[in-house]
Amino acid sequence: MKHLKFLFLFVGLVIFASCSESDVENEVVADSKQAVFSGAIGEFNTRVTNNSWDKGDAIGIFALIPQSDPPAVYEEKYNVQYVTTGGDKFSSVDVTGKINFPNEGGLDFAAYYP
């Protein structure tokens, strides 16, 4: 009986030690590393109301792999549409279109309006 306790303890420790958070490198962590965008309007732009974004204004964003030559798009995140409800915060229109940072490293972004 005493050996059985040690056997279960040993098996439990082996299982615990063999577990890892992820077996996939560069896995994207949803939401905790989600890219958030905000923007300000300069004085030379047109179609503005009091130098602020109007509800429904959209921008297109490209997520680029840093220091890649030629520039490479990260995980097909090109021309991702982000929309504002007014103010300076933008949200992804499509849940699957959200841009998340990789676990390691960073990203470069290019954005345009309209």
Interval 74-111: pLDDT, tens? 998 999 999 998 888 898 888 778 899 998 899 999 99
Distances, alpha carbon 31 to alpha carbons 15, 59, 96, 98, in Å: 29, 20, 12, 9
Query: Can you give the pLDDT at residue 88?
Result: 83
Which helix (H) or strand (E) element contains residue 111? strand 108-112
pLDDT given for residue 24 in this prediction: 42
Cα separation, 64 vs 62, in Å, equals 6
Whether the predicted pLDDT of 19 surpasses 50: no
**Which pTM was predicted?**
0.60
Written as six digits, the tokens of 106 are 């960073």
Q: Name which of 22, 30, 85 is nearest 56 in CA terms.
A: 85
